[in-house]
Structure 1
Amino acid sequence: MTRPTIHDVAREAGVSLSTVDRVLNDRDGVRQQTKSRVLEAIDRLGFQRNLAAANLSRKRRYRLAFILPDGPNSFMRLLEQDLIEAAEAALLDLTSVETIKVPPFDAGALADLLRKLDADSLDGVAIVATDATIVRIAVRELRARGVAVITLVSDLPGSERQGFVGIDNVQAGRTAGSLLGRFCRGRSGRIAMVTGSMLVRDHAERRLGFEQVLRTEFPDHPIIAPLEGFDDKDRVRDQLAAKLAEDPEIIGVYSMGAGNRGIAEALSDLPSDRAISVVAHELTPYSREALLDGTFDAVLNQNSRREVESAIRLLREILDGQSPTTLPEPIGIEIFMRDNLP
């Protein structure tokens, strides 16, 4: 069944195309009786206006900002590059996209930035959230000033954000647990976790899912308390190397944040007869190299380009008054091993 067009509406209402266009774009010059007739025709036909075309016709511009953590996190830098490329394409749809960086894992800095944003020059914001009350309050204040807010990669539940674009991080943690448990099957020993920070929701949710699977399905592999590396490869390397030297019973490592270079460097100093299985996140040049040389066993990945494009689309839909649940598909979790690298 074909969708009704503006021509069908004009024919049904007995008016010209220009009259329908005026009604759709809420312009003057149409009598109330005629306007009512057009609106009734729209309802009868089930006409759905093409918002993109309508916005182009009235030259509506969208002004969006993406707030990302600064620092050496390879995935965030990949996301930033994707944003630069997506911003160029978005200009064709009258959408300007800027990237703003804040110190990583710094809830105060993120909240301060949200409060300082100029609501008169901005329509929507996507943030990689730090899970803190002051950030929730800042989001609420920004919404009250008329700016649309969604979260990207790391969510902020309980806030007034209008949508989230990213993977299911509990599911990602469960997947990591299932993989690592199988990689370590047949060996006795403990499992180490390396996180960026428990201040971000995505890492906390990954830990939850990971521990659920390890404790129920692989109880013979006790889990030690997570090491917080704050996505800094040197800190990750030093902490993990010290823990591996202290505890010779560690047989597996789950890296749920960045700093994968530090993981690889810590493992490179181990004797050749000590086997450590590793599951990490995000397919970056460093994790790819670790897969190829056998240091990592598996990498869970999220498609950063798809997340950027979906976030831009979601913000535009919210600003157009559409339901914020219209994201076409959830962001899936990709599992890469050495033999299926793209």
Structure 2
Amino acid sequence: MTEGATQPATRATLEDVARAAGVSLATVDRVVNRREGVRAKTVARVEAAVAKLGYRADLAAARLARGQTFRFAFVLPTGSNSFMTNLTEQVARTADWLAGHRGFIDIHHVDVFDPDVLAGALENLSPAYQGVAVIALDHPRVRAAIDELVARGVAVVTLVSDAPSSSRVHYVGIDNPAAGRTAATLMGRFLAGREGTVAVIAGSLSLRDHTERQFGFHQILSSEYANLSALPVIEGRDDSNRTRELTAALLARHADLRGIYCCGAGNRGIADALEASGRAREVVWITHELTEHTRRFLVRGTLDAIINQDAGHEARSAARVLLAHCSGEPISPDQERIRIDIFLRDNLP
């Protein structure tokens, strides 16, 4: 080691705290784990040593010492939705991190558009799971299935789409009404006073994230952009073939169509219909989620803006929240807040 170099800082241990406080290791363990039977003066001395040394518990080591492990189920959609494919990949990566913390993930693919299928999948999950993360459908049977899991002591986190009146312990996702309002503001500004109609394409209005986005969109469009009239919402079930047909029909029926807001998926179908019509540069199109496909549409000018949520952040957040809940550990609300990203062609990462 060269002169003047410092030794790398080492993590303080319980033994270090015991020596600094002048008490036994057992006493430190009782104080750190908030167990009774230690005098107030001794507690204060131990806490002062903890603060001075910057001691932090190694939770993974503690779980290892107790032989404690957790198994979580992530219930994700079937189909070819690019964002959900990306989310599945991010959950798989998160599983590698979680394994180092004595937690393990199994991924189950389910048709989340069908409430009976989704509820049945939740009802039939193995009792070995201590936690579940699910793309939720806000439907009575799905809410009941979530409530039954929670009543059995299983922690349930809703992911991307919420079921807020259920007993779930946490929602991991963006503020969807705010995302819809953001899309409407962009639409109104991009169209800059032009008059006409705007189409809204959802995957399913049974998915709360899609419903909340279109609500926020209509809220701003109707109150701030009187020059634009929103057409009734249509559902594409996040299927590219279906959205291609729906978009082609919209373009054929509405010569005054000025914009399309897709608050779900199926973007390849929308792009195909716009480009086939020759009106791709005329109609303003705003959608959700940065994927390999939406990136390409944005770069070539068919798509005008993307409202994005970070799938990696959501996968890690869901795992952290489940692990913290099962371990009785606190979470950091700021760390788990999922932000809304806006991407234009000029700021693509």
Same fold (TM over 0.5): yes
For 1:172, the equivalent position in structure 2 comes to 179
For 2:53, the equivalent position in structure 1 comes to none
Match of 1:134 among 141, 156, 160: 141
SS of 1:286's partner is helix
Aligned equivalents of 1:40, 1:201: Cα separation in 2: 53
CA contact (8 A) 1:87 1:96 kept: yes
For 1:159, the equivalent position in structure 2 comes to 166
Match of 2:335 among 309, 316, 328: 328
Aligned equivalents of 2:205, 2:299: Cα separation in 1: 30
Gaps of 5+ in 2: 1-10, 51-55
SS of 2:123's partner is helix
Structure 1 residue 64 displacement after superposition: 0.8
Q: 1:150 to 1:263 in 2, by over 3 A?
A: same
Alignment-mate amino acid for residue 37 of structure 1:
V
Q: 1:64 to 1:192 in 2, by over 3 A?
A: same
Q: 1:292 to 1:6 in 2, by over 3 A?
A: same
CA contact (8 A) 2:172 2:336 kept: no
Structure 1 residue 49 displacement after superposition: 4.4
Match of 2:228 among 209, 218, 221: 221
| Residue 52 (structure 2) pairs with residue 71 (structure 1) | no
Aligned equivalents of 1:81, 1:36: Cα separation in 2: 48
For 1:36, the equivalent position in structure 2 comes to 37
Alignment-mate amino acid for residue 36 of structure 1:
G
Aligned equivalents of 2:67, 2:39: Cα separation in 1: 23
Match of 1:17 among 20, 25, 36: 25
| Residue 216 (structure 2) pairs with residue 209 (structure 1) | yes
Deviations 1:178-233 (A, max 9, x none): 00111112311000001000000100010111011101110210000111000000
Aligned positions of 1:186-335 closer than 5 A:
186-271=193-278, 275-323=282-330, 326=333, 328-335=335-342
Aligned equivalents of 1:40, 1:83: Cα separation in 2: 46
SS of 2:68's partner is coil
Aligned equivalents of 2:41, 2:276: Cα separation in 1: 74
CA contact (8 A) 2:60 2:100 kept: no
Structure 1 residue 110 displacement after superposition: 1.1
Q: 1:94 to 1:274 in 2, by over 3 A?
A: closer
Deviations 1:259-280 (A, max 9, x none): 0001101101223597100110
Q: 1:43 to 1:179 in 2, by over 3 A?
A: farther
For 1:96, the equivalent position in structure 2 comes to 104
TM-score (norm 2): 0.88
For 1:116, the equivalent position in structure 2 comes to 124
Alignment-mate amino acid for residue 54 of structure 1:
A
Q: Which moved more, 1:174-183 or 1:272-281?
A: 272-281
Aligned equivalents of 2:126, 2:42: Cα separation in 1: 41
| Residue 185 (structure 2) pairs with residue 184 (structure 1) | no
SS of 1:299's partner is strand
Structure 1 residue 171 displacement after superposition: 0.6
Deviations 1:150-187 (A, max 9, x none): 11100111110000111110110010000011111231
- The count of aligned residue pairs is 332
Structure 1 residue 326 displacement after superposition: 4.1
Q: Which moved more, 1:155-164 or 1:104-113?
A: 104-113
Aligned equivalents of 1:64, 1:273: Cα separation in 2: 44
Gaps of 5+ in 1: 27-31
SS of 1:36's partner is coil
Q: 1:321 to 1:274 in 2, by over 3 A?
A: closer
Aligned equivalents of 1:319, 1:327: Cα separation in 2: 20
Aligned equivalents of 1:288, 1:169: Cα separation in 2: 21
Deviations 1:68-97 (A, max 9, x none): 111111110100011111112221221111
User: RMSD of aligned C-alpha atoms?
Assistant: 2.5
